[in-house]
Amino acid sequence: MEIVSKPDIRSAEEARAYVTKLRTILRYLGTCDGNMEQGSLRADVNVSVRRPGEPFGTRCEIKNVNSIRFIGQAVDVEARRQIGILEDGGTIDQETRLFDPGRGETRAMRSKEEAHDYRYFPDPDLLPLEFTQGFVDDLAAGLPELPDAKKARFMRDYGLPSYDAGVLVADRDVADYYEACVTQDGKKRDAKVVANWVMGDIAAAANASGLSVAQTHVPAAHVAELVDLIGENVISGKIAKDVLALMFGEERAASPREIVERRGLKQVTDTGEIEKAVDAIIAANPDKVEQAKAKPTMLGWFVGQVMKSTGGKANPQAVNDLLKSKLAL
């Protein structure tokens, strides 16, 4: 498949954005895996420069650029090369060039042929292809939800900010994984919290294992359950991170709830127990108490100490409330 664009891209940034979006669409359609380094997708980049108000300049074609980053670099260095020639009073030769990322330059390969040099002529054995509007409409109806439409729906239905929705839909498998987490068992979950976990800790853990989010062995049902445990105040966010690490490690087959039960990781919500821990920290640090009265931001230090003494199990909100009361903040 070859896709030819019109000459309406004006910068390296636009060129990168165009190929990035095109690759995402092709991946959604399942027509190309988009792995440029493996040769599944390549770009021939045509570059020309002109002064404001002048017609298009002579173009040079940079062949077989094999990464989006290199596309941007190739456009920049070739544009600078052509500008330098024109400013010195020279002319641009229409030619095919090669981008050398190691040296940050383009090199001439051969002069570029004009269309008539190819000597095109009709092939009588090739029958004309005629597409009816009905055929085109049927194809359009069979398309999957494409990236822009999915992004708009995530923002509308799940209340996600544009950035989060854009990150998630950039990969169809990740978008599907995220949505499965949000809608698991038909429960209503905080879609933003789920997005934070998928884009943050889960993506980091998957990357450390050399996998993408959608390739991990952690099913969407387990991610949903982890978020539910936080929402139910069964575990804190800190404990949830520990549980996730176990899910990617020695507890690979277990669900979050099983891990929490087996390891005794439930959050302490008994205010009496939490108060004992708070009182102990205050009694052991009279100097810090005086500092906190003059500097209320010291509250964070006390919260950290209480959480540390309880193994991260104390309910953070209860800890905050008790400390503010006892320290008169």
Radius of gyration over alpha carbons of the chain, in Å? 29
What is the reported pLDDT for 112? 65
Rounded Cα–Cα distance for residues 311 and 134 (Å): 65
Rounded Cα–Cα distance for residues 155 and 172 (Å): 16
pLDDT in tens, the chain (329 residues): 899 999 899 999 999 999 999 999 999 999 999 999 899 999 999 999 999 999 999 999 999 999 999 999 999 999 999 999 999 999 999 999 999 999 999 999 987 666 666 677 888 899 889 999 999 999 999 999 999 999 999 999 999 999 999 999 999 999 999 999 999 999 889 999 999 999 999 999 999 988 889 888 899 999 999 999 999 889 988 899 999 999 998 878 789 999 999 998 888 777 888 888 888 988 999 888 888 877 888 888 988 898 888 887 888 888 888 888 888 77
What is the reported pLDDT for 116? 64
Domain positions in the chain are: 12-115, 147-263, 271-326
What is the reported pLDDT for 227? 96
The residue type at 157: D
Rounded Cα–Cα distance for residues 244 and 251 (Å): 9
What is the reported pLDDT for 166? 97
* Number of neighbours of residue 140 by Cβ within 10 angstroms: 8
Q: Are 230 and 236 in contact (CB under 8 A)?
A: yes
What is the reported pLDDT for 204? 95
Q: Are 168 and 175 in contact (CB under 8 A)?
A: yes
What is the reported pLDDT for 115? 63
Place of tokens 């209860």: 318
Rounded Cα–Cα distance for residues 224 and 209 (Å): 21
How far out from the chain centre does Cα 102 lie? Answer: 27
Residues contacting residue 265 through CB under 8 Å, at least 6 positions apart:
235, 239, 242, 243, 259, 313
Query: If you classify domain 271-326 with CATH, what class do you get?
Result: mainly alpha
